[in-house]
Every structure is written in C-alpha cells, then in structure tokens.
Amino acid sequence: MKKILLSGVKPTGRPHICNYFGAMKQFVNLQDSYQSFIFLANYHALTGTEDAKVMEKDTLDLAIDYLAIGLDPKKTTIFLQSDVPEVTELAWIFNCITTMPYLARAHAYKDAVGKNKEVNVGTFDYPILMAADILIQDADVVPVGADQKQHVEYARDTAEKFNRIFGHEFKLPEPLILEEVKTVVGTDGRKMSKSYGNTIELFADDQEIRSSIMSIPTDSRGVDEAKNPEGCNVFALHKLFSSEELPEIKKRYLDGKIGYKESKDLLIENIIKLVAPLRARRAEIVKSPDDVKKILRDGGDIARERARAKMLGVRKKTGLII
Ligand code: ADP
Ligand code: TRP
C-alpha cells in the first residue's frame, strides 16, 4: 500500500520558478512513489480575490501548468478544492474545537495584520480550511515550501485535538520540505514571492527571462576580481538551474574568472533550457481546455467520494447523525 500524498496550490496569478522548485516539481517527482492528490485551492484563493473572471482564468491556467510540468492524471488525482465542498463542513467542525488565540499566532495572519490590511475571516481561518483539506483525504505527507510548514503543524494539532475529544479519526500528516529549496530568492534578493513583484515566471518567454535576470542587482566588482558566490543573487539561481556546472562556476567566482554579465548570460541559457520544453508542452495542452476540465471533474469525483466516506465517520463521532 502506497502512502498518501496531498498538496494544493492557490490559483492566484502565474506560477514562478520558486513555486516550481519549492513545490510543484516535487509533485511530479513523487507521483510514482505515493498515491497522490494535488488540488487547486480555489476556496483559499477567495480570501484574496473578488473577481470571478480572474479566478476562472487563473484556475484553468494553473491546471494546464500542472499538466505541462508532467503531472500525470493516471498517477495523480488532480482536482478543484471546490469540487469537494465537504472540506468546508469539516473546517466548520474544526472551528468549533479551535480557539481564537491559537489561530492568531499563525504567521500568515500576523503578516496580514502587519500590512495594516482589513483581515477577512477567511484569512484568519485559512489554516483550519487547510487542515480540513489535508485530513479529509487521510494524507500521510504534504509536500510544501518552507513557508507552509506552520500550516501543516496546524493540521497535525487539529487532528490530535479532534482525536482526543471525539475519538480516533485522523492520521497525523508530515510536511515534506526539500532543504535545498527552502526559500529561494527573487530578482531583488528577498524571498521570491508574487506579493513582492520580484518573480521569474515559470512559463515566461525568452525575452522576459532575459530582462528579469538582467535586472538582478550585483555589486560593482569587475570581471577579474574575486567574488563571493554566497552573497550573489545570480549564483543563488545557478544553484537551481546550473547544477552540473555549479562547482566550476563557484570556482570561477572565487578566482575572479567570471564577470556578472557572463554569469547572467549562462544563467539565462540554463533557465531557457529547462523552461522551453515545458512551454512547448503547455502550448499543446492549452488547445484542449475541455480535456483539462474533464481531468479536473474526474479527479473531483474521486476526491469527493473519499471525502464523503471520511465525513461519515466524523459525523458519527461528533453526534451529528442520530
Ligand atoms: P507566493 O509567495 O509567490 O504567493 P505561493 O504562496 O502561491 O507563492 O506559494 C505556492 C507554493 O510555492 C508554496 O508551497 C510555497 O511554499 C512555494 N514557494 C513560494 N515561494 C517560494 C520560495 N521563494 N522558495 C521556496 N518555495 C516557495
Ligand atoms: N496554503 C497553501 C499555499 O499557500 C495552499 C494549500 C491550501 C495547501 N490547502 C493545502 C497546501 C493543503 C498543502 C495542503 O501554498
């Protein structure tokens, strides 16, 4: 029996290379070893979007992206979160055993408060819906970027609390975080994130890739001067895209045998090498949106069936069925 893997990504704008290395690529690598469930977290995306057209477009685009990077619907159940509305019921039940101070400690909520935003209840309750996503499918492992680790801990805590109060129902999930891509930097040296506008889009064309890499600030060291690779944002990206040549590039940095211009050119070449076949596959898939929607519907049926079965146990344990 394979262990169960589950993860989700919000359909909010175009994925960037850190979404790819931090999360998406793992889904593809792991789909042979696990019984895999990957969903588009459109309920979660609603905490930050009020435009239905944008939501529809981003959702279909993201489904196409997943297929383009190699997620195989024969191996992975791919679905829309909203096709499993049982998660909102489970989130409600979890809400009733969760305290406000506990949720107020979540990093994402504190960040939202720190930005002086009017925080909606959905944002406050975000970790509980995520716990429901994970626990309703009996997930053993949840591959995510490091920034989502706390959310997986909320899911574990919530599972434990429910089991303690109502009797054993939920497995305790483990986060799966790749050390080397913990937090990948963006073009400005801060964590790459859509909210900082410092991203390199995964499906960017050659010209867009070139201009984002060329815009990365570097220090003023000349071609012949020794450079510190660890302090260089271009080198940080080489770690993702230039693994074979990495020792050589590092040596040239230390020996003052490479200029930033050449380093950037090399990086651009390697990014294009990786991205071009994904782009080509995407261009094919985008021609058949109905096939993509069918994959999501079929995946939704499977995920919903499992969720219904799980909710039967939850409803019995909580006294909702008489
Ligand atoms: P963003 O921060 O750009 O809005 P999301 O929050 O949509 O990205 O993240 C989607 C997935 O990609 C999450 O699993 C997240 O951990 C991962 N991820 C995002 N940014 C990075 C990064 N800079 N380094 C590593 N992983 C990342
Ligand atoms: N919060 C995750 C993110 O921002 C998306 C997500 C929602 C998720 N539900 C999940 C990830 C369940 C893993 C498991 O990227």
- Ligand 2 site, residue 8, Cβ cutoff 6 A: yes
Give 136 Cα–ligand 2 centroid separation in angstroms.
14
pLDDT of residue 181: 63
Q: Quick one: pLDDT at residue 147?
A: 85
What's the 162 CA to ligand 2 centre distance in angstroms?
Answer: 21
Question: What pLDDT, on the 0 to 100 scale, is given for residue 180?
Answer: 62
In the prediction, which pLDDT does 188 show? 86
Give yes or no for residue 310 CB within 6 A of ligand 2: no
Q: Which atom of ligand 2 is nearest to the CA of 41?
A: 7
What is the distance in A from the centroid of ligand 2 to the CA of 266? 34
Question: Cβ(44) to ligand 2 under 6 A?
Answer: yes
CA pair distance 182, 15, nearest whole angstrom = 17
The 3 state secondary structure assigned to the chain is CCCEEEEEECCCCCCEHHHHHHHHHHHHHHCCCCEEEEEECHHHHCCCCCCHHHHHHHHHHHHHHHHHCCCCCCCEEEEEHHHCCHHHHHHHHHHCCCCHHHHHCCHHHHHHHHCCCCCCHHHHHHHHHHHHHHHHCCCCEEECCHHHHHHHHHHHHHHHHHHHHHCCCCCCCEEECCHHHCCCECCCCCECCHHHCCCCECCCCHHHHHHHHHCCCCCCCCCCCCCCHHHCHHHHHHHHHCCCCHHHHHHHHHHCCCCHHHHHHHHHHHHHHHHHHHHHHHHHHCCCHHHHHHHHHHHHHHHHHHHHHHHHHHHHHHCCCC
Residue 194 pLDDT: 82
Looking at all shown ligands, the one closest to residue 180's CA atom is: 1
List the structure tokens of 270. 């390697």
Task: State if residue 194 touches ligand 1 by the CB under 6 angstroms criterion.
Answer: yes
Along the chain (322 residues), what's the average pLDDT of each consecutive run of 10 residues? 95 90 89 98 96 98 97 98 98 98 96 90 98 98 90 98 98 87 77 87 95 93 94 92 94 96 97 96 98 98 98 98 94
* Predicted local confidence at residue 182, as pLDDT: 63
Count of CB atoms situated within 10 Å of the CB of 138: 18
Ligand 2 centroid–CA 6 distance in Å is 9
Q: Is the CB of 142 inside a 6 Å radius of any atom of ligand 2?
A: yes
Looking at the CA of residue 181, tell me the nearest atom of ligand 1: 25
Q: Check pocket membership of 237 for ligand 1, CB cut-off 6 A.
A: no
